[in-house]
Amino acid sequence: MLDRMETFRLQPTRGFSRVLAPRELWRYRDLAAQIALRDITVRYRQTALGGAWAVLQPLGFMVVFSLIFGAAAGISSNGIPYPLFSLAALVPWTFFATAVLLGSDSLVANAALVSKIYFPRIFMPAGVIVAGFVDLMISFVILMIIVFAWGWAPSLAILALPLLVAIAVAAALGTAAALSAINVRYRDVRYVVPFSIQMWLFASPVVYASSEIPEPWQTLSALNPMVGVVEGFRWATLGTGDAPWDLIGISAAAAVVFLVAGLAYFDRVERAFADYV
Amino acid sequence: MSTHTAIQTHELGKRYTLGVSGRGYGTLRESIAEAIKKPLRRRNSSSEPRSDQLWALRDLSLKIDSGEVVGLVGHNGAGKSTLLKILSRITEPSSGHADVTGRVGSLLEVGTGFHPELTGRENIFLNGAILGMRRSEIRARFDEIVSFAEIDRFLDTPVKRYSSGMSGRLAFAVAAHLEPEILLVDEVLAVGDASFQRKSLAKMSEVARAGRTVLFVSHNLAIIQALCQRGILLERGRAQADGPVSEILDHYLAGLERASVADLIEREDRDGRGWQHTLLKKVEMVDASSGQKNAVVGGRPAKLVVEVTELLPGLECRVTIANSFGQPISVLDSEISAPADARDPELGPRIECEIPIVPLLPGRYRLDVGLKANSVIQDGLQAAAFFDVEPGVMEGRQMAGEGSEGSVAFPHCWRLPP
């Protein structure tokens, strides 16, 4: 029995430690699953409409955007019916926005746990994102139903979706990890995030098409990972237009930077969470 | 099972930074202001040691063997909880190191992992995972946990509909069925009714006897005495004494009494949660007829006087009366009001509690006092005062003498056959 027991040394850490330690994450895999399961189960419990909320939000925005930007302002949607144009963008956007919004509050919302129990803290923002993934799948199914009902159909480009979702997940996790860590020290994050996400919506081609932006700004704008994701989603689900590989490529690289920077920052400050939260 | 070293700490230290950001959380504005002030301050006093740092634990070196059941005692702020937090990896030490051999499970305020919207069943799995159990382990012990908690009928009810007793029982049941090699326990036996507490205590002593290493923190010295063989007395973050549990408890109790003699304002072992806009200055139990301080007579009236430094609106006071083992006997809580209570504008910065008859058997008793103003915790002190109860007469009957069983004197009357 003795030889199976490991000795663990607890000491002040210097440099990087846990977040990127796969053994540590693997050891706590059951907890990761339970936290994700909790976030999924709890999200719509005691709501009358339940999982329908995952769909109602993007649908609602679709209607509003179609009336304001499509009909009234007459923004060009490259020949795509404006409702389809905006919904194909709103599905990944809602996933990203919700993940960042809830993820950035996840450590503070679970302060009782963080200050009483040890576990790899990254599970908190990550759990929120896994739960959001379920919503993404529900709203994706609805999107496909509406696309077909409108008489449109995706092309083979739909095979690029996993890549696009991966970019969105990487960008969301990196952003949520960093913001949740800052939130532990500075609750200002709570007030900054909802506002910034709205700004971010308009900085991403959700209500307009990227092609409206003059070069070189169009290419540069893809440094915002959601630019590639949103344009990619339109191309992949509506089966129209040229593959925006340049945007997707730049956004993918940017998302990797977001992820690595976010996790690295999280890792640096993780050890002090319990002292501040 | 052969013995090995389970926990060994070497000059372990934990430093906290006090001030606004250390106490709760700061805003960005504060730290920007701080950053601007910093260079100025550095110019003024270059080598002055920082006074806003507190060593909650300092140079602590100790060794605990596997199978030992150790009670940690000490005042509030002595570093007991900090030590458990470091050992359970919640927080990192600032200096030194600790080597821990085996899986560590902690029961620090059970039930913190409960989610109110989830059912009892879902919470058992969630909380088990949080405490470090594998899913298969939880499944294997599921029925045992449910029956121990006595919640069979409510298994699929959200925990938010549970009474506090029920959720406390469930939380303890999950935690008590953990099987780590090292168990850290912090004040968890206070849930549920008396029979559940007995059951919990029995479960804990079963755990203690099963050859597991247990580190136990409780203010209830009777429980420590019953469960532990070895005691460690912490004082201001250092190990003050280490030895057989009864010796350590005597040492601790003697220290408590010494501390209570001093002016309360000078005490440093205050409850850290308080805002401290007003502090406890003096606590006394006064005999109502003789005016004698901290010596009252059983069955006779007495007055509890709590003096504070500042008169704030909405002062409330909660006094726990404990026997000489630290076992709480009763609590007097001004927030639970009665028609006879009054707010007296003439009273000044003090709170008084009239006790028509002291229902206590002879012996020495301890007062732990907490202070609130407008529902916000201000201050708290354990062993704020001690008082002696001298044998008296309860409703015409002589009380049993000192050393007799129990603490409470009952007004009573017999009917006997001739």
User: Does B29 score more than 70 pLDDT?
Assistant: no
| Cα–Cα distance list, A110 to A36, A58, A103, B127 (Å) | 13, 28, 11, 13
> Residue B62 — φ and ψ, nearest 5°?
-150, 160
Measured CA to CA, the distance from residue A225 to residue B10 in angstroms comes to 48
Measured CA to CA, the distance from residue B401 to residue B362 in angstroms comes to 6
- Per DSSP, the residues of A182-251 read HHHHBTHHHHHHHHHHHHHHHHTTTSS-GGGSPTTHHHHHTTSHHHHHHHHHHHHHH--S---HHHHHHH
Report the side by side order of strands in the sheet with B328-333: B295-297, B376-390, B363-373, B315-322, B328-333
Contacts of B26 in chain A (CB under 8 A): 185-186
The reply to whether A274 touches chain B by the CB within 8 Å rule is yes
- Using CB atoms, which residue from B25, B126, B135 is nearest to A38? B126
Contacts of B25 in chain A (CB under 8 A): 184-187, 276-277
The reply to whether B156 touches chain A by the CB within 8 Å rule is no
Structural contact between residues A136 and A165, judged by C-beta atoms closer than 8 angstroms: yes
Average pLDDT, chain B: 83
Cβ <8 Å between B102 and A118: no
Pick the more confident residue, B75 or B315.
B315
Structural contact between residues A152 and A238, judged by C-beta atoms closer than 8 angstroms: yes
A119-A122-B6 Cα angle (round to 5): 20
Beta-carbon pairs below 8 A across chains A and B: 118
Top residue of A1, A24, A26, A31 to mutate, by most chain B CBs within 10 Å, is: A31
Measured CA to CA, the distance from residue B134 to residue B126 in angstroms comes to 11
Cβ <8 Å between A119 and B100: no
Cβ <8 Å between B28 and A113: no
User: Does B44 score more than 60 pLDDT?
Assistant: no
User: Does B244 score more than 90 pLDDT?
Assistant: yes
Structural contact between residues B274 and B380, judged by C-beta atoms closer than 8 angstroms: yes
- Selected residues 162-181 of chain A with any CB under 8 Å from a CB in chain B: none
Residue B355 pLDDT: 94
Cβ <8 Å between B130 and A31: yes
Top residue of B34, B62, B64, B130 to mutate, by most chain A CBs within 10 Å, is: B130
The reply to whether B241 touches chain A by the CB within 8 Å rule is no
Prediction ipTM score: 0.77
Residue A222 has which token pair? Answer: 């893809």
Burial class of residue B197, CB neighbours in 10 A (0-12, 13-18, 19+): middle
B404: pLDDT confidence band, cut at 50, 70 and 90? low
Three-class DSSP category at B63: strand
Contacts of B93 in chain A (CB under 8 A): 10-12
Average pLDDT over residues B170-179: 83
User: Does B49 score more than 70 pLDDT?
Assistant: no
Three-class DSSP category at B43: helix
Cβ <8 Å between A45 and B90: no
Contacts of B133 in chain A (CB under 8 A): 30
Contacts of A46 in chain B (CB under 8 A): 117
Q: How many CB atoms lie within 10 A of CB B321?
A: 18
In Å, how far is A13's CA from the nearest CA of chain B? 8
The reply to whether B11 touches chain A by the CB within 8 Å rule is no
The reply to whether B53 touches chain A by the CB within 8 Å rule is no
- Selected residues 193-222 of chain B with any CB under 8 Å from a CB in chain A: none
Q: What is the pLDDT along chain A (277 residues), one digit of tens a residue?
A: 334 577 888 888 776 665 567 877 888 888 888 888 888 888 877 777 777 888 888 999 999 999 998 888 878 888 888 999 999 999 999 999 999 999 999 999 988 888 888 888 899 999 999 989 999 999 999 999 999 999 888 888 889 999 999 999 999 999 999 999 999 988 889 999 999 999 999 999 999 988 888 888 988 999 999 999 999 999 999 887 788 899 999 999 999 999 999 999 998 888 888 887 7
β partners of residue B244: B230
**B62-92: pLDDT as tens digits:** 999 988 999 998 877 788 888 998 998 888 8
